[in-house]
Amino acid sequence: GAVVSQHPSRVICKSGTSVKIECRSLDFQATTMFWYRQFPKQSLMLMATSNEGSKATYEQGVEKDKFLINHASLTLSTLTVTSAHPEDSSFYICSARTGQGPYEQYFGPGTRLTVT
Amino acid sequence: GENVEQHPSTLSVQEGDSAVIKCTYSDSASNYFPWYKQELGKRPQLIIDIRSNVGEKKDQRIAVTLNKTAKHFSLHITETQPEDSAVYFCAASKTNDYKLSFGAGTTVTVRA
């Protein structure tokens, strides 16, 4: 149980275009989803916290107009990277809380974004 | 916000030896401390976690200790095997927001 999927697994886009990444909880309802970014050989950095039906909360230094997050249902959150630039190339990972156990988060497999 | 420091950044051990990774945290309100193993290009996998009301937890070859007073926690891997080679991350979280703050990671290499 507690499976999280992401789509696509990897995407290549041209500079200036927008890319949407989906995060789904497959067998549970996720009260909260988190979006992380991980650059090569670096740690995971939290970008934003997403609660179903409400606006996402962004971490300091993360541009909310550039990284649009929508959490329209209890099983789906989307991250849209708008006007992508090469410096946005990274590994984007989502996680989800079940709301049953108080702590554990379940991670998606990640999306490798390359902006050319 | 929470600041988690992790040491060492790299660790090379002989197969069968033990590996220890140490983390410190800054926010005394943090009360949940998970450890993750991440292989290249894959998602982080939870390997063990500890809550602030416990000082030590063990799961087969893996153990975690927590010193709340000193605000540090450690991962111990005994009888290391080549498949233990990966990047390990510590993290800290608290129940008011459940956000995970990660350490910088430790690349563990187990030499056969």
Q: How does pLDDT run across B65-97, given as a tens digit for each residue?
A: 999 999 999 999 999 999 999 999 999 998 878
Question: Token pair for residue A85?
Answer: 């630039």
What was the pLDDT predicted at B29?
A: 93
What was the pLDDT predicted at A79?
A: 97
Candidates B99, B110, B107; CA nearest to B34 is B99
Three-state DSSP at A17 gives: coil
pLDDT digit string (tens) for chain A, length 116 residues: 789 999 999 999 999 999 999 999 999 898 899 999 999 999 999 999 998 888 899 999 999 999 999 988 899 999 999 999 999 999 999 999 877 666 788 999 999 999 99
**Quick check: B104 and A42 CB within 8 A?**
yes
Whether A86 and chain B come into contact, CB under 8 Å, resolves to no
Cα distance between residue A33 and residue A20, in whole Å: 16
What was the pLDDT predicted at A98?
A: 79
Cα distance between residue A106 and residue A30, in whole Å: 10
Q: Quick one: closest CA in A to B48, which residue?
A: A104
Cβ contacts of B41 on chain A, cutoff 8 Å: 91, 110, 112
Question: Token pair for residue B18?
Answer: 């033990």
